Amino acid sequence: MDKLEVTLYDKRFANIHKYEPLKCKKYDSTLFKGCGLLKELKIDHWIAAGTALGIHRDGDLIQWDTDIDIEIVANDKLPLLLNIFSKNGFKLIREMTFGGIPMQYCFLDKETRVLFDIYIFYKNRDKLFNWNDYGRMTIPPQFKLGKTIYKGHSLYSLLPLNKYLDFRYGKSWKRSKGRKEGWKSDANPKIFDFTFEQSSLFDQNKIMFQIYFDRGNGFNEKDSIKIGYETNKEITLSKIIHINSKLKRIRIDPSNCSGLVRFHGFDILMNGETLYSVNSPSQSNILFQNLIPLQENGTFICSNNDPMIYFNMPYIKCSLLEIVCHLEFFPVNEKILASVNKLQIINELKDEQFKEKDAHIGILETAVKDKDVHIRNLEGIIKDNSANISNLETAITDKDVHIRNIESSLRNIESSFIYKAGNVISMPLAAIRKYFDHILRSIKVRS
């Protein structure tokens, strides 16, 4: 059973209706600044309750009122509201939720000390509704969003404004009471609609995002926050919490039904500055349970109603912090999911086969590398042998030259010997010839 919960971030503002009045404060500055931020966020909003009454009836805010009343329609920019207002001088002092879904944010403008009170409405068929501490408040479709000029500034309001005030306060709104009373006592009972069926309250928010906090005793439903959100697009879910040093872990359940979850990141911020960030599903301080990885980009199959993402927390001093999660969720019916699961199993089998093939290829690559090493060793040996052969050829060439030199020397010696021997032999023959020539001449003379 969903219930209404009020969180006070500053106990001095336990009763907003008893806070100091607007008189003598720069309330216009807070009004224009706050509405300007809502306009920048493209969130439909309008002046409401006492603020609309004062501007329309008196041309100014009611001096004994204690806050500025604004109503908005929730959209996918709502998670950014807390961070934007915090960065622009507003302090969140009170938050009201129904089943973990935001219904009221009350801010204090730190510069003017004026309360900027936002009530968050949700569409339910043709009506807008808000669940608050007095009941389920509704706005019928007869009113249209338009502009009202206040002190030269254009502000959004529900038109026709006098009909809206009739609906909100009854016919008595035209006469000032001169004092501040509880807003329920001033309100027209028609604004509270008890005909809603609880099961139809959040038709557009059937997908629930839940954050659990482990402060040393494990996770439990009491220490958790629920946020409804739209599917089939990237969203940013944001929540202001009070963290102390006892916080051990945070668990996020991204959905309450089966489908595909794409995780983009998780941050913890203080005054808009990032203290802790997870931007990849592969980081060591994150654990996924009941989520089957489908792709490396952070897409998971959520095959049951209890997917979980765990974050181990660093030491953080006691602080008021903002938790921000960026994700996408795509609801998938059981048949498609079964097909996706089968495809995942097939992909896993293929991955195993590829791993085996990769291992075999690795073995072959190692063998080829070993062969390459062996070939390089053989090439080294061949190079060494070639060098030895070259050295031998050089030595042989040197020996051949030496032999030729010896042969030349021997021929020279032989020639010299023959010449000398010829001289030795030729000398007696000359003498003999000379002798015989002498004899012959003698014989000729005698004759």
The whole-number pLDDT of residue 38 equals 95
Task: Determine whether 237 is exposed, middle or buried from the number of CB atoms within 10 Å of its CB (0-12, 13-18, 19+).
Answer: buried
- How far, in Å, CA of 154 to CA of 35, rounded? 10
Which string of b and e fits 29-60 if b means at least 16 CB within 10 Å?
ebbebbbebbeebebebbbbbbbbbbbbbeee
203-229 per-position pLDDT tens digit: 444 567 788 888 778 888 777 877 766
Count of C-beta atoms within a 10 Å radius of residue 171: 9
User: Per-residue pLDDT tens for 419-428?
Assistant: 555 554 555 6
Strands 101-109 and 135-139: unpaired
> What confidence score (pLDDT) does residue 107 get?
94
The interaxial angle of helices 161-169 and 49-57, nearest 10 deg, is: 130
What is the model's pLDDT at position 194?
45
Q: Which phi and psi (to 5°) does residue 131 adopt?
A: -100, 120
Strand stretches in 313-414, DSSP E:
319-331
- H helices present in 170-315, as ranges: 183-186
- What is the pLDDT at residue 263? 78
CA separation for the pair 19, 64 (Å, rounded): 10
In the chain, which residues have pLDDT < 70? 1-3, 13-18, 124-125, 178-207, 228-235, 237-245, 270-272, 284, 294-298, 303-305, 315-321, 332-354, 414, 416-433, 435-436, 443-447
Helix or strand (DSSP H, E) at 55: helix 49-57
| Alpha carbon distance 328, 330 (integer Å) | 7
Q: What is the pLDDT of residue 205?
A: 42
Counting every residue written for the chain, the total comes to 447
**φ, ψ for residue 79, nearest 5 deg:** -60, -25
The predicted model scores a pTM of 0.53
pLDDT score at 424: 46
* Residue 300, amino acid: F
pLDDT at 344: 57
